[in-house]
């Protein structure tokens, strides 16, 4: 309940998003039989990080925080201001005796758990996507070794990243409303950036982006490559996760073609009148 109270009512980054990410993590733990490769402590870290990964998200991303020189950007020296804040709020909750789920673990174990949760929440900053994926691919090329802490840490970072942006793995009737929520949050930010004279990212601009254009590139260049890389370790996700992503891409491409055809028809009609 305390965690839920510390999520704001943003269109996208709210408690429902945190719940979906945690549920996907639980699903991946079972689908990939992660208990065969990881300790109970590792699994606890994965689930706790998932629950806490967007705590007190203000609904405006890191780029906005940095460009607007917000209190968070100043506090964290422009380095992943949001993710650092999510971590800090998580450990404020855990420092309260009433909500400290790790109250009975010894100091050394808590130190490891804290480091693990922090590492995972910080890994959800998409600015680090290429760096984390590169590191994971290098470890796969060398031969993934789940007895190697560095290999396992990188895998855990990739897993939370997968869960964080996994909406398109779900059925269309579940995933599509989430795109509307995300675009609403983006448009709120870009409207504010225009008013404040700050740079506006094209993918957040209501005058430049549509639902299919927002999703096609993201699915094609971020989601599919990432999930395919994970499928090299866990082949079982190919059918359950990679295939639905490919289906989603096809549906959005179809949607884009229909939108373009409608636009052309409208144009032709207006020229005839």
Binding-site residue numbers for AMP are 13-17, 54, 164, 215
187-212 CB burial, b ≥16 within 10 A, e <16? bbbbeebeeeebebeeebbeeebebb
Cα-based distances in Å from 10 to 53, 139, 186, 263, 267: 15, 37, 11, 32, 36
Binding site feature residues for Zn(2+): 17, 53-54, 164
SS3 of the chain: the string is: CHHHHCCCCCCCCCHHHHHHHHHHHHHHHHHCCHHHCCCHHHHHHHHHHHHHCCCCCCCCCHHHHHHCCCHHHHHCCCCCHHHHHHHHHHHHHHHCCCCCCCCCCCHHHHHHHHHHHHHHHHCCCHHHHHHHHHHHHHHHHHCCCCCCHHHHHHHHHHHHHHHHCCHHHCCHHHHHHHHHHHHHHHHHHHHHHHHHCCCCCHHHCCCCCCHHHHHHHHHHHHHHHHHHHHHCCCCCHHHHHHHHHHHHHHHHHHHHHHHHHHHHHHHHHHHHC
Asked if 129 is an active-site residue, the reply is no
As annotated, the binding site includes 13-17, 53-54, 164, 215
Select which of 13, 57, 85, 151 is catalytic: 13
Catalytically active residues are 13
């Amino acid at each position: 309940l305390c965690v839920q109270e510390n999520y704001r009512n943003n269109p996208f980054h709210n408690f429902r998003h945190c719940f979906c990410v945690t549920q996907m993590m639980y699903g991946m733990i079972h689908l990939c039989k992660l208990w065969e490769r990881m300790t109970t402590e590792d699994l606890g870290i994965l689930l706790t990080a998932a629950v806490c990964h967007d705590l007190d998200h203000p609904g405006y991303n890191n780029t906005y925080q940095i460009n607007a020189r917000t209190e968070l950007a100043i506090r964290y020296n422009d380095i992943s201001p949001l993710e650092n804040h999510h971590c800090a709020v998580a450990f404020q909750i855990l420092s309260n005796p009433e909500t400290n789920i790790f109250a009975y673990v010894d100091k050394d174990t808590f130190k490891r758990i804290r480091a693990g949760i922090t590492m995972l929440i910080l890994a959800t900053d998409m600015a680090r996507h290429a760096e984390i994926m590169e590191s994971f691919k290098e470890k796969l090329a060398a031969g993934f070794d789940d007895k190697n802490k560095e290999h396992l840490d990188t895998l855990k970072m990739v897993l939370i990243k997968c869960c964080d942006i996994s909406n398109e793995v779900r059925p269309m009737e579940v995933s599509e409303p989430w795109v509307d929520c995300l675009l609403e949050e983006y448009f709120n930010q870009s409207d504010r950036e225009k008013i404040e004279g700050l740079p506006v990212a094209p993918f957040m601009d209501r005058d430049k982006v549509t639902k299919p254009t927002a999703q096609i590139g993201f699915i094609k260049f971020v989601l599919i490559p990432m999930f395919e890389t994970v499928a090299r370790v866990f082949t079982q996700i190919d059918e359950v996760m990679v295939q639905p992503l490919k289906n989603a891409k096809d549906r959005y491409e179809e949607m884009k073609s229909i939108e373009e055809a409608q636009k052309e028809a409208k144009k032709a009609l207006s020229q005839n009148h």
